[in-house]
Amino acid sequence: MKKPLMAGNWKMNKTVLEAIEFTKTLKNTISDIANVEVLICPAFTALYAVSNEIRGSNINLGSQNFFWESKGAFTGEISPVMIKDVGCSYVIIGHSERRQYFAETNEAVNKKIKAAFTVTLKPIVCVGETLKEREDNVTSKVIEKQIREGLFGLTLEQASSVVIAYEPVWAIGTGKTASPDQAQEIHHFIRKIYEQMYSKDISNKLRILYGGSVNSKNVSDLMNKPDIDGGLVGGASLEVESFTKLIRYFK
């Protein structure tokens, strides 16, 4: 059985003190949770403090990004080694905001996924279409390209530890959610691509998260779908109460 994953992407929010406060409270509110993997992805500045706070708890730590080189003259960048060193087990790669505002390409995503494996970080690879692409009926083409180019050259073992997050760009932070059927259709499609690229077994074990305005009202309809294995959550992960409701859905 795949363990569902509920991941919070805090984006560029929370000071160190706010992050500590959140984490202390979350630790208590979900201490009984064992059947869902819980992940929080704070800003770089709060990673160290949150890492200390989650020690011995059921909360995992992830980074929202990194650069693919392990060290050197790359002013302003953070390496996979540093992310691992600070206590992260996951890294989000290719979030649509990085693709949109920081010109991150499928090629860069590929380099980052491979870099994650050099330090045994588990990549959460984000894919998704823009509104225009959906209206132009090229959603599946876009997603297939993001996956095939992003994951190019991975070994079967590496492909087995990737998590994919399907995040329609038009649903992120907009309050618009893909309908459960729309999401299921794409999740199923992603699983089929994975089967073609790797194997049925690897594809069946792949965790595919849905992201895009997930909240306590729509979580149950989305997570009930057979190919949805958890969520990547922005806005609703910023308050302990709303994030806890999403985690507790699986209980």
Which residue minimizes CB distance to ligand PEP?
Answer: 234
Selected binder of ligand PEP within 28, 52, 173, 224 (CB under 6 A): 173
Selected binder of ligand PEP within 5, 9, 80, 207 (CB under 6 A): 9
Tokens read off for 210: 């849905």
- The answer to whether 167 contacts ligand PEP (rule: CB under 6 A) is yes
Closer by beta carbon to ligand PEP, 54 or else 233: 233
Chain Cα centroid distance, residue 103? 19
Distance of alpha carbon 174 from alpha carbon 171, whole angstroms: 6
Taking the complex as a whole, the smallest distance from the CB of residue 40 to ligand PEP amounts, in Å, to 12
Helices (H) and strands (E) in the chain, counts: 12, 8
- The answer to whether 129 contacts ligand PEP (rule: CB under 6 A) is no
- Of 11, 161, 19, 2, give the one whose Cα is nearest residue 90: 161
Q: For helices 139-150 and 106-118, what crossing angle results, to 10°?
A: 40
- The answer to whether 233 contacts ligand PEP (rule: CB under 6 A) is yes
**Catalytic annotation present for 187:** no
Selected binder of ligand PEP within 65, 139, 213, 218 (CB under 6 A): 213
- The residue count for binding ligand PEP (CB under 6 A) is 14
Distance of alpha carbon 202 from alpha carbon 115, whole angstroms: 21
- The answer to whether 159 contacts ligand PEP (rule: CB under 6 A) is no
Of 95, 129, 133, 187, catalytic: 95
40: β partners: 8, 61
- The answer to whether 230 contacts ligand PEP (rule: CB under 6 A) is no
Inter-residue contact 175 to 218 (CB < 8 Å): no
Give the pairing type, strands 163-166 and 122-127.
parallel
- The answer to whether 146 contacts ligand PEP (rule: CB under 6 A) is no
- The answer to whether 62 contacts ligand PEP (rule: CB under 6 A) is no
Taking the complex as a whole, the smallest distance from the CB of residue 7 to ligand PEP amounts, in Å, to 8
- CB under 6 A: which stretch of 35-43, 137-145, 156-164, 211-219 binds ligand PEP? 211-219
Selected binder of ligand PEP within 26, 108, 172, 219 (CB under 6 A): 172
Beta carbons within 8 Å of 158's beta carbon, 6+ residues apart: 113, 114, 117
Q: Which residues are catalytic?
A: 95, 167
